Copies of this chain bind each other. A is one copy, B any other.
Amino acid sequence: MYSEAAMSETIEVVAEGGVTSARGFVAGAVRARMREDWDKLDVALLYSETPCTAAGVYTQCNVVAAPVVITRKHLADGKARAVIANSGCANAATGERGTRDAVEMAQLAAARLGLDPHEVVVASTGVIGIFLPMERMRHAIEAVELSAGGGLAFAQGIMTTDTRPKQSAVRFGEYTLGGACKGAGMIHPNMATMLAYVTTDAPVAAPFLSRTLKDAVAVSFNMIDVDSDTSTNDMLVVLANGVAGGEEIAEGHPMASAFASALTHVCTELAKAIVADAEGGSKVIEATVVGAASAEDARLAAREVVRSLAVKTAVYGHDPNWGRVLAAVGNSGCRMEEAKTGLWLVDRDGHELCLLENGSPQPLAAGAAKPHFEALEVRFRVDLGLGKEEATAWGSDLTEEYVRLNSLYTT
């Protein structure tokens, strides 16, 4: 279980940090007009001066974009050294030509950097069903300038409908770990995909890196919901170049748990940033489920609360309809006994307001729940009363603006 308290002893936040906070990483981005109708940084490159161990997690969607297929192959040996990413075109549902284009993106970046194409991670995000403008891609990959201060440009280069770049970095002992991501939802028009890249100058054994990444994702990116749609292009890759020296970190190493905390912290911050910047979202819903019979039960229940459209709209409308939260828990498939279930609202200072205890509604002063619903973060705590497992999930609310952004745009 991710614990803020345990974490703060071992890691320290790096203000404004990102993918180039760790030593030995350089990055940059250029405006390459991957779409005719925009003018933003849209081809981004990240490079490590030395070889890295690497691990990735990918979309579970059965329609997988070409760059995801290529990246999985390239990371199969647990090694990588660069990321080439574009926004504006997802290179998804593009058949064999799409596969050729993704392979060529890796080749072009490898040629530019003097690497083997298998050392290059390839990513695209944007409209589905159209082809990459490869001539522009070639020029862009030549033109991008790499620097140790290029982390922000990289974060901007992968943005689509995000309103702000999303970065996070921490120090743990001698090491630095930082990341950038772009936002969520199959939205406006299919432009949203979750892309995230994390770098560290710690030396990390590939199997440990892969395992730790899965654990970190389980409590961060897998616990957020914007609109319940998984993109064809979702990808999270972590690169560890070991430039800061020391013995390789693996299971049992004195720094193993500090590394896991650092990775979990950055993944959680990035995931929450996606929710906070959700298209058309006005606030963040946090659902903590305690007393679950299993960790999976806790995760199911927490995720369903932040997924439920009934909860999302109630939060948006400041409507203290807590029955919707209870019904979401009931719909999650978690083990529960209504007569043992409790529900609380929690404000930013940790004050709790009991809505339901042992399955019975609690008498409330008129208007007592309303301030909790008016806060920018609306926090629910559910106690299933069945065990000791817990989980937390974060979701955006659902607003008229979400519908407007996702419907009134016409390709």
Q: Is the CB of A326 within 8 A of B189?
A: no
Q: Is the CB of A410 within 8 A of B319?
A: yes
Q: Is the CB of A63 within 8 A of B407?
A: no
Please tell me if A316 contacts chain B, counting CB pairs below 8 Å.
Answer: yes
Q: Is the CB of A331 within 8 A of B230?
A: yes
User: In the complex, A406→B312 CA distance in Å?
Assistant: 9
Residues of B within 8 A of A128 (CB): 321, 323-324, 326-327
From B61, B322, B327, B359, A330 is in contact (CB under 8 Å) with B61
Q: Is the CB of A410 within 8 A of B327?
A: no
From B63, B317, B322, B399, A329 is in contact (CB under 8 Å) with B63
Please tell me if A238 contacts chain B, counting CB pairs below 8 Å.
Answer: no
Q: Is the CB of A400 within 8 A of B411?
A: no
Please tell me if A222 contacts chain B, counting CB pairs below 8 Å.
Answer: no
User: In the complex, A323→B341 CA distance in Å?
Assistant: 41
Q: Is the CB of A329 within 8 A of B62?
A: yes
Known: A317-B408, A407-B316, A407-B319. A336 touches B62 (CB 8 A): yes
A363 to chain B, nearest CB (A): 11
Please tell me if A33 contacts chain B, counting CB pairs below 8 Å.
Answer: no
A133 to chain B, nearest CB (A): 16
Q: Is the CB of A320 within 8 A of B411?
A: yes
Q: Is the CB of B228 within 8 A of A309?
A: yes
Please tell me if A176 contacts chain B, counting CB pairs below 8 Å.
Answer: no
Q: Is the CB of B190 within 8 A of A338?
A: no
From B94, B308, B321, B327, A361 is in contact (CB under 8 Å) with B94
Q: Which residues of A contact B (CB under 8 A)?
A: 60-64, 90, 92-96, 127-130, 185-187, 189-190, 227-232, 307-310, 313-314, 316-324, 326-334, 336, 338-339, 341, 356, 359-361, 398-400, 402-404, 406-411
Q: Sample 9 A-B pairs with CB under 8 A, ordered by A number.
A: A62-B338, A93-B359, A128-B327, A190-B324, A230-B331, A313-B403, A314-B407, A319-B407, A321-B411
